[in-house]
Amino acid sequence: MAPKKRITMHDHAAEASLFKRRALFTFACVVILLGILLTNLYHLQILSYTDYETRSNDNRIRVVPVAPSRGLIFDRHGKLLAENQPFFSLELIPEKVKDVPAVLAELSTLIPLSADEQEDFQKSLKYHRRFKPLTLKNRLSESEVALFSVNRHRFPGISVVAGLKRHYPYNGMMTHALGYVGRINDRDRAALQRNDLWKNYAATKYIGKQGIEKFYENLLHGQPGHLEEEVNNRGRTIRTLKSVPPVPGQDIYLTLDLQLQEKAVELLNGRRGSVVAIDPRDGGILAMVSSPTYDPNLFVHGISTKAYNELLNSRSRPLINRATQGQYAPASTVKPHIALLGLEDKTITEKTRVWDPGFWQIPGVERKYRDWKRWGHGWVDVNSALVGSCDTYFYELAYKTGVDKIANFMQPFGFGERTGVDIFEESAGIMPSKDWKRMRYNQPWYIGDTISVGIGQGYWTTTPLQLANAAAIMANKGKRFVPHLLKSIKDSTAKINSPVDEMAPIELKDPKNWEIINNAMRDTAHKKRFKDATYTAAMKTGTAQVINVAADAKYDADNIDEHLRDNALVIAYAPFENPKVVLAVVLENAGWGGANAGPVARALLDEYMLRDSWESIQ
């Protein structure tokens, strides 16, 4: 019996429905993928057109930065203190020189090339593109430039290139105020990158390292320009498409008086010390001298290791700006301020008298604090104590006042704080107090510490700038300005004066106390150093001990090392009626203040005060 045939029934409606679903799914996928494609095309062609066009142009257009010329620096009278001088360097394009060692050997017969220069060049050549110029020798002399120019045909691929370098025409005279520029190093580069300034220095090799050059770097540097060059796929320049010139740095004028600065340098004559002169009417610094000094031009192209080590290891410490970083005991130069506190605090009056037998003792203590005059001054009041610089008077005054009152009173005069002068190299000095000693040494404060502070010794230290600033406040009867070096700024259109930063004045309970102290300083000047002066002046000298001397011992400068001898100090101002110049002079290990620093102050005030009369005669 034959098997039965199986009959399959087709559900056409179900098949049609399945096909329809599959077709719709496939169509949806096609639509989605097409949408994605169109979206990407829109993003590439419309939204990101500018970005990709720039990337494409960068493949054929190279932007080459052009360094700006650095702004010049002048003194208050327009005399040039820092300039840009042309210099010449020798550059070689490697691909145009077939045998570099042979050419260098031949070139050295014309222009001396040291072994170090040739070795450095060979090292740089390994990582340098052969079509780009590479510096072979910096700072060619005029004779070397002339000699190479005559023989240039013998050296294809080598050329002389001109540039600008910073130059300080007065060498070391202004070093510690102006500072200097030097090559940008890794630390400078990191600082510029942190502050998002590196793009502005892409073509610049030098940056301010110290002083005014560093503080006003943003003004002096300028804005770079650029060249747009068409290049091939190997980076070789085909043509220049566009040139945007750089914006030069702004010229700045300082408050410094070159003539007064020159006189101060001449008077110090290389001795260790400092001179600071301030115009008390606005806080402008007229002179800032630190001695000994060094030539900042050595640092412009890079100082040799040997020369730098000599400066760094010198016992005279020429790298230190003594005017703002040197810390000295102020000694008797702060007695006027101590006396002013005594009057203001009513610890003393103008007529208070103290007997000086040549020493002073803390009640109940055997130790004697000696006066500088071993037989004493006899009866003294505030005026005669300042004129005679009587230590005994100020021992007692400090004992009665206390160190914390002294510290609090001195703070507005700027002691123990940075003045805010517009250079970064500044120390705060020390204005001691009970809390300061506890924090610094974890020791209690003793009465003997207060006695030393009363004559500007002990833990109290100050910089010459702080001393001049405090003297200016005294001369101004409480009017205060932030000491500054910048006078005005000049760009391509105008010269703009820098604003003067005036601080809140020191107001006394009894303004007459200003007159009492300033009159005593005037009497000091005209009974001593300024007897024959044709102008009125005021002054106070000081002699600061560098080492302690036993109570019963006698100080003998001839029998101790020179660097352990006393420092000589003086503060002075003129004219007395309307001060226009205030001085602070510090001479390290020079001995007696009046005999050694006094003549420097007199000569400087003569230079400044008598200048107009001498010029009118001539």
| Domains contained in the chain, number | 2
The set of residues, in sequence order, having a beta carbon less than 8 Å from that of 356 and lying 6+ positions away, is 371, 376, 377, 378, 379, 380, 390, 392, 393
> What pLDDT was estimated at residue 394?
96
332 is known as an active-site residue:
yes
Which residues, in sequence order, are bridge partners of residue 568?
Answer: 543, 587
Together in a domain, 69 and 185: yes
Low-confidence residues of the chain: pLDDT under 50: 550-551, 555, 614-618
Together in a domain, 223 and 190: yes
Q: Is residue 67 part of a domain?
A: yes
Together in a domain, 326 and 405: yes
CA angle 444–366–357, rounded 5-degree value = 115
Measured between alpha carbons, how far is 415 from 216 in angstroms, rounded to an integer? 26
Q: Does 390 count as an annotated binding residue?
A: yes
> What pLDDT was estimated at residue 19?
79
pLDDT tens, position by position, 436-453: 999 999 999 999 999 999
> What pLDDT was estimated at residue 427?
95
pLDDT tens, position by position, 348-361: 999 999 999 999 99
> What pLDDT was estimated at residue 214?
95
Q: Does 371 count as an annotated binding residue?
A: yes
Together in a domain, 97 and 212: yes
Together in a domain, 435 and 395: yes
Together in a domain, 584 and 606: yes
Together in a domain, 501 and 529: yes
Together in a domain, 283 and 191: no
Q: Is residue 37 part of a domain?
A: no
User: Hey, what are 438's tokens?
Assistant: 């506890």
Q: Is residue 20 part of a domain?
A: no
pLDDT tens, position by position, 546-561: 766 544 555 455 556 6
Q: Does 356 count as an annotated binding residue?
A: yes
Q: Is residue 42 part of a domain?
A: no
Together in a domain, 366 and 508: yes
Among 89, 332, 384, 452, the one annotated catalytic: 332
Together in a domain, 509 and 605: yes
CA angle 530–531–535, rounded 5-degree value = 60
Measured between alpha carbons, how far is 311 from 320 in angstroms, rounded to an integer? 10
Give the residue numbers spanning the domain of 430.
258-291+321-617
Of 254, 276, 308, the domain-final residue: 254
CA–centroid distance for 616 within its chain: 37
Q: What is the CATH number of the domain that holds 168?
A: 3.90.1310.10
> What pLDDT was estimated at residue 237?
66
Q: Is residue 277 part of a domain?
A: yes
In three-state form (DSSP H/G/I as H, E/B as E, the rest C), the secondary structure along 173-226 is HHHHHHCCEEECCHHHHHHHHHCCCHHHHCCCCEEECCHHHHHCHHHHHCECEE
Q: Is residue 57 part of a domain?
A: no
Name the 3-class secondary structure at 11.
coil
Together in a domain, 484 and 457: yes
Burial (0-12, 13-18, 19+ Cβ within 10 Å), 107: buried
Strands 158-167 and 237-244, bridge-based pairing: unpaired
User: Hey, what are 271's tokens?
Assistant: 């001795």
Asked if residues 315 and 561 have their Cβ atoms less than 8 Å apart, the reply is no
Q: How many CB atoms lie within 10 A of CB 87?
A: 16
Q: What is the CATH number of the domain that holds 496?
A: 3.40.710.10
Of 201, 236, 254, the domain-final residue: 254
Q: How far, CA to CA in Å, does 252 sit from each of 102, 206, 208, 490, 496?
A: 48, 18, 14, 6, 9
Together in a domain, 368 and 488: yes
Mean pLDDT of the chain: 87
440 φ, ψ (degrees, to nearest 5):
-80, -45
With pLDDT > 90 as the criterion, what percentage of the chain qualifies?
Answer: 54
Q: Is residue 190 part of a domain?
A: yes
> What pLDDT was estimated at residue 25?
86
